A and B are shown apart, each in its own frame.
Chain A
């Protein structure tokens, strides 16, 4: 009880500090603006990396809900800005250039987001059985919409196949998800596929590959390695896909 109250008070004090920091004009405001600009650049960089990673990685990567929703919010704000400026006849004449820049960037960001979603869609299409039957761990990688899509697709396809031809097959041959080890029917991402990675931070120790080979990952170098071998470094941001 006392702890909870303490935490609350701490929170209040912290908030107070922050509020106070923002208020006095001049220097602090500029600092805040810079922070915000830094955030924007980080967001853009994150989106670029996400797009590249999703296109090059054999497995489906966790969906970045937060980033995409922040960016779509900003997209909306920019569209509003364009509408506001173009409908105002006085402002319109002076700000053609501004609108041109804003619109170009809008399209660039939209292109990236679309590309990101499409790359994911491609994998979801390909591995829909794997994704629809999987445990929560795999599911967490998908956004809500993607999860709904996977389930709908799986049930609809199943129904379609059943009606078309599966129902006339012997019972034993009707399954779509027969995962015997020799002829698995469910396509799963091949985690042994090779990917191009750039090392962002020196990875201590050597990375052991199959066949008892190992490799030393040094900062700035570019390697072609099995995705499986670098997956954990990718997660903590020690390497990036290129």
Chain B
């Protein structure tokens, strides 16, 4: 609808790259250009062979027309990339801080738009970048094993790397949290018979709801409140997303299992709804 499914809760790689185009780089213009007032900045006056700092997207436009040379950022040189690789390899549990936030995107953009401006052959840089990326990906994968529903810390991660794992991490952690809350409540509370919707049909459900629960939300006691919070992802989906077929074959399953099922169901439902 307003937002394509692919863009909900995450960014497209192209959007991350778009963001990275706002980082500033040094260029050596080959042509004079007066100060140019833009919306997000004023471009400095350019004189041939005088270094100026401009956003990367300006540099790429000028470079395409061969009106400037891009000076690659210092971290994008053979030596510092090798150092960065060493740093990555020396500690397999943390990311090194030798690379900037947008390192994948900026590296890629500079390599494709200005391969001739690099101090050493572009394939060397490309290989180094790939090596670093692989070693960091291995760390990410290792980190994903220890996901838990409280929090996670990932320092010095890159924008693109973060975006790659964003949906997986947030969805997993959200689901883990729901499961954990469900379990905690099962232990703490016994009023299970008040919990409708296991297999009763819609009308029954709504009626029991009416009898047992006061309408006015200010009257809920705390136990109900906490229950409703944890049950929310389940409850809010059920009225709309439950298909008749699902109700039939789902008898007295375990609650955990059912959460998985209804979750899968919503995923399916969402994707078909979006089309």
Contact = CB atoms under 8 A, between A and B. Distances in A.
Interface of A: 33, 36-37, 40-41, 43-44, 47-48, 52, 55-56, 71, 74-75, 78, 97-98, 100-102, 104-106, 108-109, 111, 115, 118-119, 121-122, 124-125, 172-173, 178-185, 187-188, 190, 192-196, 209-211, 213, 215, 220-226, 242
Contacts, number: 176
B36 A181 contact: no
A105 B1 contact: no
Contacts of B1: 121-122, 125
A121 B213 contact: no
Interface in B8-43: 8-11, 15, 18-19, 21-22, 31, 33, 36, 38-43
B170 interface: yes
A74 B173 contact: no
Interface in B150-179: 150-157, 159, 162, 166, 169-170, 173-174, 177
B3 A118 contact: yes
A182 B198 CA distance: 12
Contact of A122 (B2, B21, B157): B2
Interface stretch (B72-80, B219-227, B245-253): B219-227
Interface class of chain A by DSSP: helix
A75 B39 contact: yes
Given A108-B18, A224-B170, 12 more contacts: A37-B41, A40-B40, A43-B40, A44-B40, A71-B39, A105-B57, A181-B228, A183-B238, A183-B239, A184-B236, A220-B155, A223-B153
B206 A173 contact: yes
B189 to A, nearest CB: 13
29 contacts: A37-B41, A43-B39, A43-B40, A44-B41, A48-B19, A48-B22, A52-B11, A56-B166, A97-B31, A105-B39, A118-B3, A122-B1, A124-B2, A173-B206, A181-B228, A182-B209, A182-B228, A184-B232, A185-B239, A196-B162, A196-B169, A209-B151, A210-B150, A223-B151, A224-B152, A224-B169, A224-B173, A226-B177, A242-B162
B88 to A, nearest CB: 17
Contacts of A182: 194-197, 209, 213, 227-228, 231, 235
Contacts of B3: 118-119, 121-122
B213 A37 contact: no
Contacts of A52: 11, 19
Contacts of B33: 97-98
B19 to A, nearest CB: 7
Nearest to B233: A190
Contacts of B225: 181
B58 interface: yes
B268 interface: no
A-B pairs, 5 with minimum CB distance = A44-B40, A181-B228, A121-B2, A122-B3, A224-B152
B193 interface: no
A222 B154 contact: yes
B81 to A, nearest CB: 22
A185 B38 CA distance: 47
A181 B196 contact: no
A173 B205 CA distance: 11
Contacts of A195: 170
A131 to B, nearest CB: 14
Contacts of B224: 181
Interface in B233-274: 233, 235-236, 238-239
A192 B170 CA distance: 11
Contact of B2 (A106, A125, A220): A125
